[in-house]
Chains A and B, each alone.
Chain A
Amino acid sequence: MIRTLFAAASALALGAVAAQAELKPAVIYDHGGKFDKSFNEAAYTGAEQFKSETGVEYQEFEIQNDAQREQALRRFAQRGADPIVAIGFSFAAALEKVAPEFPDSHFAIVDMVVDQPNVRSIVFKEEEGSYLVGIMAAMASETGKVGFIGGMDIPLIRKFECGYKGGVASVGGVDVLANMTGTTPAAWNDPARGTELAKSQFAEGADVVYHAAGGTGIGVIQAAADEGKLAIGVDSNQNGLAPGSVLTSMLKRVDVAVYDTFMDVKNDEWSAGFSVFGLAEDGVGVAMDEHNKDLVSTEMLNAVEAAKAAIIAGEVSVHDYMSDSACPY
């Protein structure tokens, strides 16, 4: 009996392998998990879109601790998964090690540059998207003060902050209060602290707060809804989390990046090296939908469109914090 079952199971497994031999994409999510309503969820959306369009199943893994990064990458590569997309800058060190071991596999990493011949490094110009929401925040503010709440204090999040400050400064006459949630990965998942940070910024006079803090940001949005102030979401479209209290969301199209990577391998158009998603590539942007259309005035939209055109045309260049670890705004 057991032997029959075993035979049947292995026959099934063999069949499955044969069916998917040509393409076995995999995605590995970072801390925060695939349903963080933010960064990782965008990656999930892209992978799901690929699945529904092509019918190709993909594999996925959510890491629970840092030791799993390297394990997960190697395990997927050993099982023949290809391409393997790692979501998050923290995978860089692990990928640096694993990629040379599997020269025939295709890897991609989001938010970081890994210089290996079989790795595509996908980076976003978060500063450009943040610049646009900075303009909207400054125009929506009545108190002349706006806030920024970051997750873990890392250069990437400083990049969001710097672009936002640039946008606010371009409007003029508005101050920015900035806080970071913490210095460990726990900072991505602490909504209570997010609420407290937002409340302290509201108490200091801010009335629009932009968060780049993953799951912590849910607390920020909650605080804005509780106190009748405005929040700005990040990465995914978070306008619907508290309709009427989220001015807009800075979209970071990780979904497009994941989808493109999967598609490129499927269509044999893979390329290693840099892949930059900015305003010009529609890789970042602001979210408009039925939840926030009453909050955003026509002047704001016009200002955003003008700034967007200017950035794409190269008339305005938004400073990238990571280029020199400093913010001039």
Chain B
Amino acid sequence: MFMDVILLLDSTVRLATPLLLTALAGLYAERSGVFDIGLEGKLLAAAFAAAATAALTGSPWLGALSGMVVAIAFALVHGAACITFRGNQIVSGVAINFLAAGLTVLLGQSWFQQGGRTPPLMGEGRFETITLPLAETVRDVPILGPIYSELLSGHYLLVYVAFLAAPFSWWVLYRTRFGLRLRAVGENPAAVDTAGISVAGLRYLAMVCAGILCGLAGSYLAIAQSAGFVKDMSAGKGFIALAALIFSKWRPVQVMGTCLLFGFLDAAAIRLQGKDLPLIGEAPVQLIQALPYILTVVLLAGFIGKAIPPRAGGTPYVKER
């Protein structure tokens, strides 16, 4: 029983990682006043770039790097449309999603002739799991042993990066000058402008941060968790991350909690399938799969309260009319 719980939490961590990185990416973008529906597209594009590069070079590091570069490029396209040309942020984000969904398959097909998939990565070319020091020695220690050796050890590097990125983002947002300005530009860009700081510059910087994090999330999907790109492999994770961001009211540490909750529900859903539950008998797949969403609605409506987005979010900044 105890071991089951540990394995459930272990799976939670694996499933929460891409959500967490993507949600943090959205956090930077939206805190700066640029709504980012295009998280899904950036995630997908980064996954493809990472898998393609890793397949060609055999190096996961170059893969992750190119994942980040491509995600940043997509983020800057979104930035150019929304910040410089003052376009509609939602429309631009949707366009990014469509662009990524089509482009990845098209390029994949013309480069690898496998119907938009990249060649499966074997051995090198893929990140390996990291075993923390002494994980094997302490495995037999009761309670703490399994927690350390199963739950904390044996994940991919990007998992640790993701869970460090959350507190780091908190520190950046609330304890650095950049963070203060970033929050200010999302609430009241006119005030930031009056203080002589470039609104556009700050927002572009936020988009770059979002690109880096989406790049890491995509790399995790394609070259750590899976071994290669499959079309549409992001499977809506960008949107779930967006929901997590709203759920946690655009705050980094809460984002981590929410993503862990979503990951936990997902992991639990996988394990509850086909099990006999008290009262209702064997759990139907449909019910189990709807559970995370039902819980989201209930929690949002009943316990979390109103989620207020950054005040300047969604509107391009115009200096003078």
Residues on A lying within 8 angstroms of B by beta carbon are: 33-37, 41, 153, 177-180, 182-183, 186, 189-193, 195-197, 199-200, 203, 215, 218-219, 222, 241-242
Contacts and interface: CB of A to CB of B under 8 A. Distances in A.
A215 B114 CA distance: 12
21 contacts: A33-B116, A34-B115, A35-B114, A36-B115, A179-B274, A180-B273, A180-B285, A182-B285, A183-B289, A186-B232, A186-B236, A189-B230, A189-B233, A191-B233, A192-B18, A192-B233, A193-B270, A197-B270, A199-B11, A215-B230, A219-B226
B274 A33 contact: no
A325 B231 CA distance: 32
Contacts of A215: 230-231
B72 interface: no
Contacts of A190: 233, 235
B116 A200 contact: no
B267 interface: yes
A191 B270 contact: no
Nearest to A41: B115
Interface string B233-274: 101100000000000000000000000000000110011011
A283 to B, nearest CB: 24
Interface in B202-237: 221, 225-228, 230-233, 235-236
Highest count of chain A CB atoms <10 Å: which of B120, B221, B226: B226
Interface string B260-304: 000000110011011000000000011001000000000000000
B164 to A, nearest CB: 22
Given A153-B285, A183-B286, A222 B227 contact: yes
A237 to B, nearest CB: 15
B117 interface: yes
B15 interface: yes
A218 B232 CA distance: 14
B115 A35 contact: yes
Interface of B: 7, 11, 14-15, 18, 114-117, 120, 221, 225-228, 230-233, 235-236, 266-267, 270-271, 273-274, 285-286, 289
Given A183-B286, A186-B235, A242-B120, 10 more contacts: A33-B116, A153-B285, A153-B286, A178-B273, A182-B285, A183-B285, A183-B289, A186-B236, A192-B233, A196-B11
For the complex of A and B, list the 5 residue pairs with the smallest distance between their C-beta atoms, beginning with the closest: A35-B115, A190-B235, A153-B285, A203-B7, A180-B285
B3 to A, nearest CB: 9
Contacts of B232: 186, 189
A192 B235 contact: yes
A219 B267 CA distance: 16
Contacts of A180: 273, 285
Contacts of A35: 114-117
Contact of A195 (B114, B225, B271): B225
A78 B289 CA distance: 41
Highest count of chain B CB atoms <10 Å: which of A178, A186, A195, A196: A196
A326 B269 CA distance: 23
B119 to A, nearest CB: 11
A196 B267 contact: yes
Nearest to A189: B232
B306 to A, nearest CB: 30
Nearest to A202: B7
Highest count of chain A CB atoms <10 Å: which of B221, B227, B231: B227
Nearest to B290: A183
Contacts of A196: 11, 14-15, 266-267, 270
A179 B286 contact: no
A267 to B, nearest CB: 31
A200 B11 contact: yes
Nearest to A226: B227
Contacts of A242: 120
Contact of A222 (B15, B114, B120, B286): B120
Highest count of chain A CB atoms <10 Å: which of B114, B221, B230, B271: B230
Contacts of B271: 200
A192 B120 contact: no
B273 A189 contact: no
Contacts of A192: 18, 221, 225-226, 233, 235
A179 B273 contact: yes
Contacts of B7: 200, 203
A290 to B, nearest CB: 17
B175 to A, nearest CB: 34
A179 B270 contact: yes
A153 B273 CA distance: 12
B289 A182 contact: yes
B51 to A, nearest CB: 11
B106 to A, nearest CB: 12
Contacts of B221: 192
Nearest to B232: A189
A196 B286 CA distance: 18
A199 B7 CA distance: 10
Contacts of A199: 11
Highest count of chain A CB atoms <10 Å: which of B115, B270, B273, B274: B115
Contacts of A222: 120, 226-227
Nearest to A184: B289
B44 to A, nearest CB: 12
Nearest to B233: A191
Contacts of A178: 273-274
Contacts of B273: 178-180
A135 B232 CA distance: 34
Contacts of B115: 33-36, 41
A137 to B, nearest CB: 17
A179 B266 CA distance: 13
A215 B266 CA distance: 20
Nearest to B7: A203
Contacts of A193: 235, 270
